[in-house]
Amino acid sequence: MGLRAYLMVNVADDMNQADLIKALRDLEDMPGVDFVDPVIGSKDLVILVDAPVTVDAIANKIRSNPWVKNTEILRIVSIYERHRASKADLLKSLSHTGI
């Protein structure tokens, strides 16, 4: 497993159902894409990508499609990477207890 991220995608407003289905199937076949789900809300698609070095190359390839209106990348990080301050506090408290 490399770097993982969720791509949140809005599709073009004039995209029809048949074109959306084709786009979803093309995305599912793309190397590095784990899954693609259409969603209802502020975004139209959620895409999970797993890349060996960076998710930017996959995101740029997806962005290059003419039907993509905009994208947002949400990188997946470990709880310890995301909350380094809380990890330091935990380690400090454990050292005082002798654990």
* Residue with the larger pLDDT of the pair 37 and 80: 37
pLDDT, residue 34, reads 95
Q: Name which of 94, 65, 76, 80 is nearest 2 in CA terms.
A: 76
Which of 79, 32, 77, 83 has the alpha carbon at shortest distance from 57?
Answer: 32
Q: What is the pTM of this model?
A: 0.76
CA nearest neighbour of 32 among 64, 54, 10, 65: 54
5-24 pLDDT per residue, tens? 999 999 999 999 999 999 99
Question: Which pLDDT score, from 0 to 100, does residue 93 have?
Answer: 64
pLDDT in tens, 45-95: 999 999 888 899 999 999 999 999 999 999 988 776 655 555 566 566 666
Tokens 């960076």: give the residue.
54
Annotated domain spans of the chain: 3-97
Q: Which CATH number fits domain 3-97: 3.30.70.920, 3.30.565.10, 3.40.50.300, 3.40.50.880?
A: 3.30.70.920
Q: 45 has which bridge partners?
A: 9, 38
